[in-house]
Amino acid sequence: MKTEQLQTQKIAASIHLVRSHKVMLDTDLARMYGVETKYLKRQVNRNRERFPSDFMFTLRKHEVMRLRCQIGTLDRLGRGKHTKYLPYVFTEHGILMLSSVLNSPRAVQVNIAITRAFVRLREILSTNKDLAHKFLELERRVGDHDDAIRNIILTIRKMLDQPSKPKGPIGFHP
């Protein structure tokens, strides 16, 4: 179970947010599938009808630069410092489609692991939404208390700020 959890964490670290989609880079997927990136791209290009724009898209140059800043240099991605071709990124549905295009036992196993990682990510996000909703409720409840506490503090300050009556001399004076 621990190795599966570690693998899920490793896959989750490869998921990026681009154009409000959770995606994975072609180089990361090729490494997981145990194939070269150019082979993966060739298979995708041969089966282009299986990859509509909501399954896969090509990054723009500024998006590549932004990702480079987020995850390090392109050398880490298995690319040189200067890329000739812009990378493909695949959404969850595109990754599922890759298993039919690559058609190997390893592709099936990798897809299962990636699907589990996406499901786990969705569970975590759902938990965070529930937590955010509970915080909002708590904030509403405490909001009324804040006003009451603020009024008490203001009243105390007014009492402290009131000028005191001049005091007479200490002791008995007939």
Instruction: List pLDDT tens digits, range 150-161.
Output: 677 777 777 766
| Alpha carbon distance 78, 74 (integer Å) | 7
Domain boundaries, the chain: 2-125
pLDDT of residue 54: 92
Sequential DSSP letters for 11-33: HHHTEEEETTEEEEEHHHHHHHH
Q: Please give the angle made by the CA atoms of 73, 29 and 43, to the nearest 5 degrees.
A: 120
Q: Which two tokens stand for residue 1?
A: 């179970």
pLDDT of residue 72: 55
| Alpha carbon distance 44, 143 (integer Å) | 54
| Alpha carbon distance 68, 70 (integer Å) | 5
Q: Span 54-74, mean pLDDT?
A: 78
Whether 1 has a pLDDT exceeding 50, the answer reads no
Q: Buried b / exposed e across 8-25, counting CB within 10 Å, b at 16+?
A: beebbebbbebeeebbbb
Its pTM stands at 0.61
pLDDT of residue 43: 92
pLDDT of residue 140: 66
- Residue pair 104/43 in contact (Cβ under 8 Å)? The answer is no
Q: Span 43-61, mean pLDDT?
A: 92
Query: How high does pLDDT run on average in the chain?
Result: 77
Q: Please give the angle made by the CA atoms of 112, 117 and 118, to the nearest 5 degrees.
A: 100
